[in-house]
Amino acid sequence: MHHFQYRGDELYCEDVPVRRIAEEAGTPCYIYSKATLCHHFRVFDSAFKDVPHLTCYSVKANSNIAVLKLFNSLGGGVDIVSGGELFRARKAGIPAEKIVYSGVGKTVDEIDFALNENILMFNIESTDELEQINRRATAKGVKAKIALRVNPDIDPNTHPYISTGMNKNKFGIAIDTALKAYEQARALSNIEILGVDCHIGSQLTEVTPFVDALKRLRTLIGKLRKIGVAIRFLDLGGGLGIVYDQESPPQPREYADAILRELVDIDCTLIFEPGRVIVGNAGILAVKVLYTKRTQTKNFVITDGGMNDLVRPSLYGSYHYIQTVMKSQRNTEIVDVVGPICESGDFLARDRGMPLPTAGEYLAVMSAGAYGFTMSSNYNSRPRAPEVLVNGSEYHLIRRRETWEDLVAPESLPPYLNEACAR
């Protein structure tokens, strides 16, 4: 469900024509629907309403502070993976006691920042990190609240780059050694064990891997309690997939039912870290067709949005449905929708059947709300796109388009080049 629908011949986001935003804000431009964001958050969160839980939205999927503030207003916490994300979360007013912090490479500065903020818990990914966090907590005279991120060695059946719960992945502590790691944690003076964490991958389209992982975690929790380690929180990570093309991922309700069946009597507060399922279908990337070009083998549609704006097709071969902003009566042709970047890997769609658009036309690249803007870059010295949040019949710019001055603002010259320039 999302609020990007045609009214007559024209694509709307809620009650605002996408064309109007594209004309006023320019393209490429990310457009998010507030109603869709809220709906998806509520559907996910309410699926667990009968059990103690905390929905910690995964900031990496879409980190705009307006988006974070919106979820905060709905009672959500956040899952972060860097000091920068913690900074954003605090700017957005997310209470520290609703912040969980994962990631395999936390630096001393990041650990210190999170200790100072007194976040709910660190999800620790190695025993080296455990020792480091204990040292930093000792230095500050505080206790670090932690869970160990356990790697359950389950294949999530998703793209290899976003599979995280198998032994060959860099994430978490292998489940076979987890008990020992908890004993190590228990012996550390400035560590307070709160829970168990796991995240097995992203864009999962079936419940079985989640349930299989959970079975293993349950056994571990049983063993931990037997040796006197109290486990109050069970963090199950994120990963629920969405429809980009022909997938049929479980609805949050089915996901919740499958999980809760496994967790009768677990006596833990559950934490979830959903990202994509909340924001993915709540956003589009609007682009403009600059040129079309027919070659002997291809029809190219060249747009002003490229892999620096939305890298998912280039990086993972991901599918994003693309539709014209004004309904088109033209015949369907097979086209490559490409960007202006100087790489053949710069495409938004390949061999896609769609009405051949003409120069000046706007296209909507659908399902771009998750890992769209957050993965964008300045490659080819392209300013990053603006972000717009639609609310009913109005919209607001929640991030302006970067300027060429922004591109060079952090750069500086060594003195010898300064002199040379002055001469």
Cis peptide before 156 (omega within 30 of 0): no
State the Cα–Cα distance between residues 245 and 241, nearest whole angstrom: 11
Closer residue to ligand LLP in complex, CB, 210/362: 210
Closer residue to ligand LLP in complex, CB, 201/357: 201
Q: Which two tokens stand for residue 329?
A: 């009566």
> Strand, coil or helix: what is 197?
strand
Q: What residue ranges in 99-250 does DSSP mark as E strands?
A: 99-101, 121-124, 144-151, 173-174, 191-197, 233-235
Residue with structure tokens 């709160």?
Answer: 194
Residue of 29, 198, 342, 421 with catalytic role: 342
Could you list the residues that contact ligand LLP (CB under 6 A)?
Answer: 58, 60-61, 79, 102, 162, 199, 202-203, 237-240, 273-277, 312, 316, 370-371, 375
Closer residue to ligand LLP in complex, CB, 11/67: 67
Residues 336, 352 contacting (CB under 8 angstroms): yes
- Min dist CB 243 to ligand LLP, Å, is 14
Q: Which two tokens stand for residue 359?
A: 């120069």
State the Cα–Cα distance between residues 15 and 31, nearest whole angstrom: 13
Q: Which of 153, 135, 152, 151 is nearest to 143 (CA)?
A: 135
Specify whether 198 is catalytic: no
Residues 292, 356 contacting (CB under 8 angstroms): yes
- Min dist CB 328 to ligand LLP, Å, is 28
- Min dist CB 316 to ligand LLP, Å, is 6
- Min dist CB 238 to ligand LLP, Å, is 3
- Min dist CB 169 to ligand LLP, Å, is 11
Residues acting as catalytic residues: 342
